[in-house]
Amino acid sequence: MNAGILGLGRYLPEKVVTNADLEKIMDTSDEWIRTRTGIEERRIAGDDMDTSDMAFEAAKEAINHAGVSAEDIDLILVATVTPDRPFPSVSCMLQERLGAKKAAAMDISAACAGFMYGMITAKQFIETGAYKHILIVGVEKLSKITDWNDRNTAVLFGDGAGAAVMGPVSDGRGVLSFELGADGSGGKYLLQEGDFISMNGREVFKFAVRQMGESSLNVLEKAGLTKEDVDLLVPHQANIRIMEASRERLNLPPEKMTKTVHKYGNTSAASIPIAIVEELEAGRIKDGDLLVMVGFGGGLTWGAIALRWGK
């Protein structure tokens, strides 16, 4: 039994914070931010909207898009490092709000690689026949752990949610191969220290450029495919220079890499599903297309998937 994506959804807060807005509150510039990160603006959730609220909006859309009901969901996996509170989990809060009464629920803490961890976990349950429909949500309210006095991190992050319903798909469709990894020795390079995100940008950059490219090539090899087979690269939207390095490793033209980092910044676990929704809405993903999704994050963690689009 193959596991694939049946439906997707996303939620982005209305408030837009531009680089020009940041220029007013810290020693930075639009030119500095754009040339180093590719980010032009990001969305920031208000005080009245927490992580579970954004997750709920994205999840509803994904369930509707999949053509199933909340009662059909067997398991809810929420990838986040910014839960409303330590417990109950965002996934349990989501289960109650959706009315997904038969669903088990748990959160996954793998930072920006969280959605990849969620999809790959869901794949196992579906392919064994244990569960039929699994909801995966990547969601972050990073603004609440961002130090707005630290120009090295404050310019990077945004809030948002992306969700997918996974289930059985036809032969040859769905997840063809995957790679998951972690390197705890690098945990010191990207962490929440006290109340805020702390990052060694140089070390994270080196790790990400190496790992994103390697993981993308590894999942293609595992699936018996080549770089020429890739229709769309969907990298974690962290930094345009890291993303471009991954694209170049696959020898792909610019139009074959999805890009939302300029509009939304780094939304961590939400970035990959948000990017796929954008591509679908633009009509750039067709039945049978080969997608390579790859993410990396604090932990350090990483994950990649080769997926044949379609049901």
* Whole-number Å distance between alpha carbons of 211 and 224: 20
* Whole-number Å distance between alpha carbons of 54 and 270: 10
Q: Is 265 left (phi over 0), alpha (psi -120 to 50) or beta?
A: left
For residue 300, say if its preceding peptide bond is cis, omega within 30 degrees of 0: yes
pLDDT tens for residues 62-107? 999 999 999 999 999 999 999 999 999 999 999 999 999 999 999 9
Domains of the chain: 2-169 (3.40.47.10), 174-308 (3.40.47.10)
What share of the chain has pLDDT > 70, as a percent?
100
Taking the alpha carbons at both ends of the chain, their separation in whole angstroms is 12
* Whole-number Å distance between alpha carbons of 311 and 291: 14
Averaged pLDDT of the chain: 97
β-pairing, 75-79 vs 134-140, is parallel
- Residue 289: count other Cβ atoms within 10 Å of its Cβ: 15
pLDDT tens for residues 3-50? 999 999 999 999 999 999 999 999 999 999 999 999 999 999 999 999
Output the CA torsion 279→280→283→285 (10° steps): 80
3-class secondary-structure state, position 267: coil
Residues taking part in catalysis: 112, 236, 266
What per-residue confidence (pLDDT) applies to 100?
98
* Whole-number Å distance between alpha carbons of 125 and 306: 18
* Whole-number Å distance between alpha carbons of 222 and 219: 5
- Say whether pLDDT at 268 is over 90: yes
3-class secondary-structure state, position 199: strand
Paired strand residues for 294: 235, 304
Reported as a pLDDT band with limits 50, 70 and 90, residue 109 is: very high
> Which residue is listed with tokens 């965002």?
90
The angle formed by the CA atoms of residues 207, 142 and 112, to the nearest 5 degrees, is 35
Q: Which residues of 62-87 are buried (b: 16+ CB within 10 A; e: fewer)?
A: bbebbebebebbbbbbbbbbbbbeee
What share of the chain has pLDDT > 90, as a percent?
99
- Say whether pLDDT at 151 is over 90: no
pLDDT tens for residues 192-228? 999 999 999 999 999 999 999 999 999 999 999 999 9
Lowest mean pLDDT among 149-153, 219-223, 243-247, 299-303: 149-153
- Say whether pLDDT at 255 is over 90: yes
Contact 191, 136 (CB under 8 A): no
* Whole-number Å distance between alpha carbons of 94 and 105: 9
Query: Averaged over 254-266, what is the pLDDT?
Result: 97
Contact 69, 58 (CB under 8 A): no
- Say whether pLDDT at 1 is over 90: no
Reported as a pLDDT band with limits 50, 70 and 90, residue 167 is: very high
β-pairing, 290-297 vs 232-235, is parallel
What per-residue confidence (pLDDT) applies to 7?
98
**Helices H / strands E in the chain, number of each:** 10, 13
What per-residue confidence (pLDDT) applies to 73?
98
